[in-house]
């Protein structure tokens, strides 16, 4: 599903939406890890979940520095990201990974679009670039793992 994150009227709204998206990702990873049969996959997804938690902290710091209050929990979209995992569970670990790849597609697109904004704050650019690199690494690992299943 295409994301509109990165196309908001203001950069701070983009940051806020990215935080919410990372909260949604954490919720999806928690749901996935609980349902996986392969502990090694769960361990790797746990590391990816930690990356998303770090993204939340870093972006929240920037939002606070701008005088706004960052989100503190997942929004209604978390139901959608978790739902993909729950439905994917029907097909076992492969289905769960396919659902997580779909979620990572969304986060990759969102960070990529955020980095294309013309009003990015200088202090935010390296954070967004690191986060996008994490998202690309997550998706690549999931794609590689799916190819071996």
CB neighbour class for 120 (10 Å; exposed up to 12, middle 13-18, buried from 19): middle
User: Tens-of-pLDDT digits for all 149 residues of the chain?
Assistant: 457 888 899 999 999 999 999 998 998 899 889 889 999 999 999 999 999 999 999 999 999 999 999 998 765 554 455 555 555 455 688 988 998 998 899 999 999 999 999 999 999 999 999 999 999 999 999 999 999 99
Residue 124's pLDDT is 97
Residue 78's pLDDT is 45
φ, ψ of residue 72 to 5 degrees: the values are: -120, 5
Dihedral sign of CA atoms 105, 109, 131, 13 in order: negative
Helix, strand or coil, per DSSP, at residue 140: helix
Helix, strand or coil, per DSSP, at residue 64: helix
What pTM value is reported for the model?
0.88
Residue 96's pLDDT is 87
State the chain's maximal CA–CA distance in angstroms.
Answer: 47
Q: Which CATH superfamily is domain 11-147 in?
A: Ferritin, core subunit, four-helix bundle (1.20.1260.10)
């Amino acid at each position: 599903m295409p994301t509109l994150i990165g196309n908001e009227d203001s950069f701070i709204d983009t940051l806020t939406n990215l935080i919410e998206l990372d909260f949604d990702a954490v919720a999806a990873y928690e749901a996935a890890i609980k349902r996986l049969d392969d502990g090694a996959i769960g361990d790797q997804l746990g590391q990816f979940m930690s990356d998303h938690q770090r993204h939340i902290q870093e972006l929240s710091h920037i939002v606070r520095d701008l005088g706004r209050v960052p989100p503190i929990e997942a929004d209604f979209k978390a139901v959608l990201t978790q739902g993909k995992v729950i439905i994917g569970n029907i097909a076992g670990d492969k289905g769960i990974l396919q659902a997580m790849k779909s979620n990572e597609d969304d986060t990759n697109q969102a960070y990529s679009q955020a980095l294309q904004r013309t009003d990015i704050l200088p202090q935010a650019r390296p954070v967004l670039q690191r986060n996008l690199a994490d998202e690309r690494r997550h998706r690549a690992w999931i794609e590689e793992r799916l190819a071996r299943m």
